[in-house]
Amino acid sequence: MKTFTPQFRNSVAALGEEELIAAIRRWLANASPRAPFGIGDDCAVLPRARAPQLLTVDPVVHNRHFDDSVPPRMVGAKLLKRNLSDLAAMGGRPSAAVVSLIMGGSVDVRWLEQFYRGLAACAREYRVPIVGGDVTQADGGFAASLTLLGEATGPRVLTRVGAQLGDWIYTTGVLGGSRGGHHFRFTPRLAEGAWLARRAAVRSMMDLSDGLAKDLHALTPRGACAAILPGGLPRRPGASVEAALTDGEDYELVFTYHTKSGRAAFERAWRGRFPATRLTCIGQFARAGKLPSGAVDLARFHGYEHLSAAPARSVMSLNT
Amino acid sequence: MKTFTPQFRNSVAALGEEELIAAIRRWLANASPRAPFGIGDDCAVLPRARAPQLLTVDPVVHNRHFDDSVPPRMVGAKLLKRNLSDLAAMGGRPSAAVVSLIMGGSVDVRWLEQFYRGLAACAREYRVPIVGGDVTQADGGFAASLTLLGEATGPRVLTRVGAQLGDWIYTTGVLGGSRGGHHFRFTPRLAEGAWLARRAAVRSMMDLSDGLAKDLHALTPRGACAAILPGGLPRRPGASVEAALTDGEDYELVFTYHTKSGRAAFERAWRGRFPATRLTCIGQFARAGKLPSGAVDLARFHGYEHLSAAPARSVMSLNT
């Protein structure tokens, strides 16, 4: 199904504003509460939060994050899931979301309906009310940006800061080869993230969006380097070590674990709680310049440059 | 100053991702707190809210809301102010904002710097921490979308629902002719909105973005019509009655006042508190079909259609 239509009668421009707003509300259905708690007033009204709150934003853009080969329902779902993955990375749960659309008038209404229905289905699945948004006409293209508000699930949110020399490095799931479909089909690790945030020995966490080699820098403490043993990397079938390190869009969690805490009991508890989610200890923080033999030199793997003359694959995020 | 540059060396594409993120943080300076309370982690962490919260989103898009004749600092400030106006319309105050940028690689870095510096100056003025965002490369264009989180300033938020037959209709400021510069120079009516939300006789409120004739429908109770006396409309110098009704982008407040409450004392209190902000009673809700002679028939004035073959002036908002 194509995002844009050459036939005016099928386009959002033909539908007009009032009709389009009514249609969007219909497509979202019960994923969007009634005003003032949802769409229809100057702001959406949300209950006061009981816990520290979390805020993040990420888009999907035509020809960057998807093309006409991707079913629009999956595009809508991905828009929410990539933000949920950011929330999972702090140990949070979702509260509400707003969606900003910027698109040319030739967007196909039928495509847009499927996009919103996919978003709404995902919002119901993860219990995220879509409480507002806006739609702006631009000269062309299609870009949707979702801002997600969430809150901590426990007394602590896990940030990227806190790892120490010697800490173990863990990842969930398998890495690499996400372009085969995983980057649309992934499940945000919300339950896992919340569970990890309650373990004191877990000291920092993030989600993997740009590839382990690039993302892991953010967790690496000063004076340390990540010693990753390539043989131990959990790879998607068919993915090379390089792919596992650099492909990006894994949407798995990577976290660090206090070296003096018991790993065996922790891993046993994980398997009891998340039998279907693979957990792998992929290495440890070594002293900078003291990379153990056999460990990967991550500096050899260049991170992805989002803004360049080359087509961008992903998004550059101020809070990725 | 032009948004786009033909010279690669001045473009955001030439700057590259890491440099651009560093530059944005530098431009925002103390308008953006340090991670995890601002830019730099998967989500921004916010304190728990003491009051019901408010959430809204609105963009600025090149060739829709601004062109090369507008200083980029004003574009950045407007992006925040139009969202602050939505917050004012509910009687709220701002808590935090995130900004999503979708732009072609040929955006001029010097333009972007001024855009962010204008945004940051405005954020400092209104004490809104910019806690995150993202930047995505698209095929071209420039669109920035800001999501604003706020909270109620008192026990009540003012919504669009609550007016009754007979209620007086008030507006702040003057209307019409906003394209002369007001739509960039306006001051969001935050103090006024918060003050009005504490008055029980004020029963509903919104901000004027699409013009009074169109926006007022949202406040009009079932079975009523707005009886506006054109002679009493507070107009910007040079603006016709039609301009005052339809120009849009006034960013003034329109609210309804209980007919049985004392108007004189209310207006006196207003003048004492807001001597510089004009307040005008522009009419009253009459029974539908019983428009008093001399009153404007608002149905004659067509609202602006945001999505059409014609160039769009403003934005269509699900929660405008």
Q: Which residues of B touch A151 (CB under 8 A)?
A: 48
Residue B260: pLDDT over 90: no
**How far is B27 from B117, CA to CA, in rounded Å?**
6
The C-alpha of B36 sits at a distance from chain A's nearest C-alpha, in angstroms, of 7
Q: Under CATH, which number does the domain B168-300 receive? A: 3.90.650.10
Distance of residue A136 Cα from the nearest chain B Cα, in angstroms: 5
Query: Would you mind telling me the total number of residues written for chain A in this entry?
Result: 320
Answer whether A319 sits within 8 Å of B100, measured CB to CB: no
Other Cβ atoms closer than 10 A to A271: 13
Q: B46 and A61: CB-CB below 8 Å?
A: no
User: Mind telling me how many Å the CA of A62 is from chain B's nearest CA?
Assistant: 8
Query: Distance (Å) from the C-alpha of residue A181 to the closest C-alpha of chain B?
Result: 21
Among the partner residues A50, A64, A147, nearest to B136 by beta-carbon distance: A64
| Alpha carbon of A272: minimum distance to chain B alpha carbons (Å) | 27
B chain contacts of residue A16, beta-carbon cutoff 8 Å: 305, 307-308
In chain A, DSSP assigns E strands to: 44-46, 53-61, 92-103, 130-137, 142-152, 168-172, 202-207, 224-228, 253-257, 279-287, 316-317
Instruction: Note whether B102 contacts A56, CB cutoff 8 Å.
Output: no
Q: Nearest CA to CA, how far is A43 from chain B (Å)?
A: 5
Tokens linked to A49: 């939060």
CB B207 within 8 A of CB B158: no
Q: Which residue of B has its CA nearest to A24?
A: B318
Is A300:A245 a contact under the CB 8 Å cutoff? no
Per-residue pLDDT reduced to its tens digit, A113-156: 999 999 999 999 999 999 999 999 888 899 999 999 999 999 99
Considering only CB atoms, A57 lies closest to which of B15, B134, B315, namely: B134
User: Which residues in chain B are contacts of A25 at CB distance < 8 A?
Assistant: 318
Q: Return d(Cα A111, Cα B286) in angstroms, integer.
A: 43
Give A207's contacts in chain B (Cβ within 8 Å).
42
Q: What is the mean pLDDT of chain B?
A: 91
**How sure is the predictor about B34, in pLDDT bands with cuts at 50, 70 and 90?**
confident
Assign domain A8-152 to a CATH class.
Answer: alpha beta
- Contacting residues of B for A132, CB less than 8 Å apart: 55-57, 318-319
ipTM exceeds 0.95, yes or no = no
Non-local CB neighbours of A81 within 8 Å, separated by 6+ positions:
A122, A186, A187, A188, A251
Query: What count of CB pairs under 8 Å joins A to B?
Result: 322
> What is the nearest CA distance from B5 to chain A, expressed in angstroms?
14
Question: pLDDT digits over A187-215, tens only?
Answer: 999 999 999 999 999 999 999 999 999 99
**Closest CB from A48, A141, A319 relative to B42:** A319
Residue A85 makes CB contacts below 8 A (sequence gap 6+) with: A186, A188, A189, A207, A209, A251
Contact across the interface for A45 and B318, Cβ inside 8 Å: no
Residues in chain A, pLDDT under 70:
302-320
CB contact under 8 A, A308 and B105: yes
Classify residue B181 as exposed, middle or buried by CB count within 10 Å of its CB (0-12, 13-18, 19+): exposed
Judged on CB neighbours under 10 Å (0-12, 13-18, 19+), B227 is buried
Q: Which pLDDT value is given to residue A16?
A: 84
Rounded-to-10 torsion of CA B33, B35, B41, B43: -60
Asked if B312's CB is within 8 angstroms of A40's CB, the reply is: no
Choosing among B41, B160, B219, which should be mutated to test the A contact, i.e. which has the most A CBs within 10 A? B41
**Predicted local distance difference test score (pLDDT) of residue B297:** 85
Partners of residue A15 in chain B, C-beta under 8 Å: 307
User: Which residue among B12, B61, B318 places its CB closest to the CB of A39?
Assistant: B318
The number of helices, as runs of H, and strands, as runs of E, in chain B is 9, 12
**CA–CA dist B210, B184 (Å, integer):** 15
Determine, for residues B319 and A134 on separate chains, whether the beta-carbon distance falls below 8 Å.
yes
**Does pLDDT of B81 surpass 50?**
yes
Model confidence, pTM? 0.91
> In this model, does residue B113 exceed pLDDT 70?
yes
CB < 8 Å to B320, chain A: 42, 134
**pLDDT (tens digit per residue) in B293-317:** 899 988 888 655 555 433 333 344 5
Inter-chain contact A13–B100, Cβ cutoff 8 Å? no
Instruction: State mean pLDDT over B169-173.
Output: 98
Domain ranges of chain A: 8-152, 168-300
CA A286, CA A221: separation in Å to the nearest integer? Answer: 10
- Of A44, A110, A111, the closest CA to residue B318 belongs to A44
Q: B231, B218, B221: which is closest to B317 by C-alpha?
A: B218
pLDDT at B312: 36
Read off the tokens for B156: 């009540």
* Closest CA of chain A from B28, distance in Å: 12
Closest CA to B74 of B228, B224, B200, B186: B186
CB contact under 8 A, A308 and B45: no
Closest CA to A282 of A176, A186, A178, A180: A176
Give A-chain residues touching B63 at CB under 8 angstroms.
Answer: 138-139
Q: Could you tell me the pLDDT band of residue B1, with boundaries at 50, 70 and 90? A: confident
Tell me if A46 and B52 make a contact (CB, 8 A cut-off): yes
Q: Is there a contact between B41 and A132 if contact means CB atoms under 8 Å apart?
A: no
Instruction: Classify each residue of B231-264 as buried b or exposed e, where b means 16 or more C-beta atoms within 10 Å of its C-beta.
Output: eebbbbeebebebbbbbbbbbbbbbbbbbeeeee
The pLDDT value given to residue B262: 87
Q: How far is A205 from chain B (nearest CA, A)?
A: 9
Q: Which chain A residues are within 8 Å of B135, Cβ to Cβ?
A: 306-307, 315-318
